[in-house]
Amino acid sequence: MSNTVNLNRSKQPFNLSHLQFYGLVLPIAFILFWAIASQLNWVNPKLIPAPIEVLKIAIYQFQQQEFWTGLGASLFRDLAGFVIGSILAIIFGIVIGISRWANYLFLPSFNVLRQISLFAWLPLITTFLDYGNSAKILFIVLSVFYPVALHTIDGVRQIPLQQYEVAKVYQFNAWQTLSKLILPAAATQIFLGLQLGLIFAWVATIGAEFLLANYGVGLGNIVIRGRAALDVGLIVFGLIIIGFIGVAWNYFANWAERRILVWRR
């Protein structure tokens, strides 16, 4: 009887959830080493402040209206650029994936444009839109458009021709073909592109606030103010907040994919 129980236990799949907390070991060890190095004066406190000093800066910043205004401005730019870029990219990818003429007309130009670095667009963007909010959002839209469009094209092209033939047998109209065949069949690739687009959007948001800085509001301006004042603690605080929000977006994307694509199971 005991042998049977042990055998059943050995056949149970290994649960990766038990390893989730192990990812905290390295950050905690780094903070402890950082605190010890600061306490023993192994580092210059003006260049590398102690963790407690960064914590004090964080508490102070959380109490400031400017911080929350900047956080809201950054999130608005991020979401606006992501939504606009994703919608345009999905439409473009579907058209390219199902239309031979659109593929011949637009795909060569698309392949050329996506080879141009996003930073190379900044002089042209600022020429027409200056350094305002519209320029930042357009920069984010461009960063989102390419990965989402590429994965959408791949997803649509991977749909077997037999499925289109079945749709013809059932006399699907254009909307039914799109909603019941193309989008469900390409959903996995589209969501993969959206996840990458969400990551790129947040990176582009902070990059736009750095490169198109006009003394406005945003999380990127916290780091800029820290650099201008030689306040390393403020810079570290800004980097930590930016990193945590990026991780939160990643978790949200994974959660949304599991909920929306639950039928794949």
pLDDT of residue 117: 85
Task: Please tell me whether residue 140 adopts helix, strand or coil conformation.
Answer: helix
The one-digit pLDDT tens for each residue of the chain (265 residues) are 444 444 444 444 445 445 567 777 888 888 888 888 888 888 777 788 888 988 999 999 999 998 999 999 999 999 999 999 999 999 999 999 888 898 889 988 998 988 888 888 888 998 888 888 899 999 999 999 999 999 999 999 998 888 888 888 888 888 888 888 888 889 889 999 999 999 999 999 999 988 887 656 888 888 888 888 888 889 999 999 999 999 999 888 888 888 887 766 5
Residue range(s) defining the domain that contains residue 102: 47-264
Task: Flag whether 40 is in a domain.
Answer: no
Q: Work out the angle at residue 192's Cα, subtended by the Cα atoms of residues 188 and 196, and round it to the nearest 5 degrees.
A: 170
Cα–chain center distance at 70: 19
Task: Flag whether 220 is in a domain.
Answer: yes
pLDDT of residue 96: 93
Q: Which helix (H) or strand (E) holds 24?
A: none
Task: Flag whether 99 is in a domain.
Answer: yes
Task: Flag whether 13 is in a domain.
Answer: no
- Per the structure, the count of domains in the chain is 1
pLDDT of residue 201: 95
Task: Flag whether 16 is in a domain.
Answer: no
Task: Flag whether 120 is in a domain.
Answer: yes
pLDDT of residue 16: 46
Alpha carbons 203 and 192: distance in angstroms, whole number = 17
pLDDT of residue 216: 67
pLDDT of residue 60: 92
Task: Flag whether 30 is in a domain.
Answer: no
Structure tokens of 253? 């994307």
Output the CA–CA distances (angstroms, integers) from residue 48 to 41, 44, 45, 68, in the order listed: 10, 6, 5, 26
Helix/strand/coil percent split, the chain, to 5: 85, 0, 15
Alpha carbons 193 and 198: distance in angstroms, whole number = 9
CATH of the domain at 88: 1.10.3720.10
DSSP state letters, 184-216: HHHHHHHHHHHHHHHHHHHHHHHHHHHHT--S-
Structure tokens of 242? 């930016």
pTM of the model: 0.84
pLDDT of residue 13: 47
Alpha carbons 251 and 239: distance in angstroms, whole number = 19
* Dihedral angle computed from the Cα positions of residues 148, 150, 152 and 157, in that order, rounded to the nearest 10 degrees: 180
Task: Flag whether 111 is in a domain.
Answer: yes
